[in-house]
Amino acid sequence: MKLDSFCVKGSEDKVTTKPHVLPIYATSSFVFEDTQQGIRIFSGEEEGHKYSRYGNPTIDAVSDKLAQMAAYGTEAKVKAYMTSSGMSAIHIALTSLVQAGDAILTQGSLYGGTTELLNTVLSKSNVSSIFTDLRDLSKVEETLANNSNIKVCYFETPSNPALTVLDIEALCAICKSKGVITIADNTFCTPYLQRPIALGTDIVIHSTTKYLSGHGNSIAGAIICQEKFAYQIWNTLKLTGSTCNAWDAWLTDQGMKTLALRMDRHSSNALHLAQFLEAHPQIQKVNYPGLSSHPEHKIAAAQMSNFGGMMSFELKGDLQRGIAFMDKLKICTQAPTLGDVDTLVLHPASSSHLRVSQDMREKNGISDTLIRMSIGIESFEDIKQDIEQALS
């Protein structure tokens, strides 16, 4: 072989013992021993990787870990697929299950991007969305009885950013009795704090960008589903090309190693801050399921092992008062994300929910003075002092 040809060939893998840390398989394709092996793998007769859009050892390893975490403590048979983002996970899951003429039942208190996806993207495929208060189970039953075209019930609990809490087990039982598939966005809690699969949910969504990765350096999503939905979800994911990449999967894997430690600290800091804010004279309302004053506190306590690091609160005053508060923060950071190790603040009405109508925002507790906070793992005293000086 001439030197120029030798340069083109890949270096030989010299691994002799199992690596302690999951390797990054940064390859688009995989080599077959011969044509017959390629035929066997493509036909499904033999297990094997072929192209990273179809599967990749790094991504598959992290996906399997996510599946085991989601089904922990149960005998549920589930599959997990990593996607390019949390939004792509939502889109893939929904488009795998609905078609023209179908309807999706969901809640008004919902992440703004999801609401926009339903109203501006899926609506173009003649898929309608019915928004209702999913906390009202009698209303859910009535809505399902009056709309036989509802195929999916999609929900968040706690919701973003109003932190409303749904009774997952009761909601899923009603939907199951009507043959409606349930999808839960479990980004806020992660499987460490809440496992919707154990409560009867068919499919769980995560933006792994947030708490699962936890360090603000990766964008990816995950779909964990009961096995009966696995093929249609995988096939849609494969054909749309919204798959995760090996680097972001690897970063997610690294982040999950400290998930338990981080979630415990996030939860502790958030509870203490919620209690402080609830007693503050400049605060109108605090939304945190860990507070006994929260309307669904008992439901949250029953289905969550802790109350998480997310909260929102309303300031007394107007829009300018909220902006002034945020601009005065020094330790807490303004950023349109959540679940990082540092404390992050967001003004939903002017950012994440900007394209949601004001009527729908206000109807679901997203006022002009609502501030969403993702409480970090810093010293609680530092977070508290920063909030105090900004309020003053």
Q: What residues act catalytically?
A: 53, 111, 185, 210
In angstroms, how far is the first alpha carbon of the chain from the final one? 75
> Alpha-carbon distance 370 to 389, whole Å?
18
Judge contact between 156 and 107, C-beta under 8 A. Answer: yes
**Cα–Cα distances in angstroms (integers) from residue 140 to residues 202, 211, 228, 332, in the given order:** 17, 30, 25, 39
> Alpha-carbon distance 353 to 112, whole Å?
5
> Alpha-carbon distance 2 to 49, whole Å?
30
Report residue 16 as tokens.
């002799």
Of 291, 310, 309, 315, nearest to 301 (Cα)?
A: 291
Residue 272, amino acid: H
Residue 89, amino acid: A
The tally of CA atoms less than 13 A away on the side-chain side of residue 119 is: 15
CA 272 to chain centre: 24
